[in-house]
Chain A
């Protein structure tokens, strides 16, 4: 299972980065590969390549605001949640991502 994710919160100071850490932990626990791009106050970091996006089975947006360059993800299966949901229960969010692609 390959997951591409983007995290972004309103101030871009805290939740963006907490959500990245939570998603990486949860994905590791389930044995999924994940790459998380952050869109915070420091701009885009760990930017996903188009190749990584194309090869991902599912995309997770953990965002409280708009995703920058969203058109990169056209035609992908996207699970969109708030950053708080991910920081609170990343395991459930990753489970939902599996369900979305029929790998529950």
Chain B
């Protein structure tokens, strides 16, 4: 199977998370099951470390936890929605419901995908793009929007 940045198998919209750390655990677990990461525990440690440095909350209920990690095999995005808003230090003080995890291997051999992730991050400053993502319940649509915002 081709290693795509995101497809509907990387979109999770039916779960509920009590805390930010539960989301990070979920990301690490799914990334390892999807073959994006070689170690769930290793990736979790790197995601947690990044949050300690500076929180990844943005505005309007969005957050972008990310890691440049030796446990990531290929660049990938996971989209996670929590039914209950989660406390996550954010710019506007709002709790977070929509999470885009940006996962990148430690050794950079792939500027194309890094470029896509940076474009995606910039797209998250756009209100229209964010509202499209929060208002959709279709995994395919969400994956498609994220992919097209990265190009």
Q: Using a CB–CB distance below 8 Å, which chain A residues touch chain B?
A: 9-18, 21-22, 40-42, 64, 82-84, 87-88
Contacts and interface: CB of A to CB of B under 8 A. Distances in A.
Given A13-B102, A88-B91, 19 more contacts: A10-B50, A10-B53, A11-B66, A11-B68, A13-B66, A13-B68, A14-B102, A14-B121, A17-B119, A17-B121, A18-B121, A18-B122, A21-B122, A22-B125, A40-B118, A42-B115, A64-B53, A83-B54, A87-B91
Contacts of A15: 54, 121
17 contacts: A10-B50, A11-B66, A11-B104, A13-B68, A14-B117, A14-B121, A17-B118, A17-B119, A18-B122, A21-B125, A41-B104, A41-B108, A42-B111, A42-B114, A42-B115, A83-B54, A84-B54
Contacts of B50: 10-11
A18 B54 CA distance: 15
B50 to A, nearest CB: 6
> Which size bracket describes the interface of B in this complex?
20 to 34
B125 to A, nearest CB: 6
A95 B125 CA distance: 20
Contact of A64 (B54, B91, B122): B54
A64 B54 CA distance: 9
A13 B54 contact: no
Nearest to B59: A88
Nearest to A82: B54
Interface in B28-80: 50, 53-56, 58-59, 64, 66-68
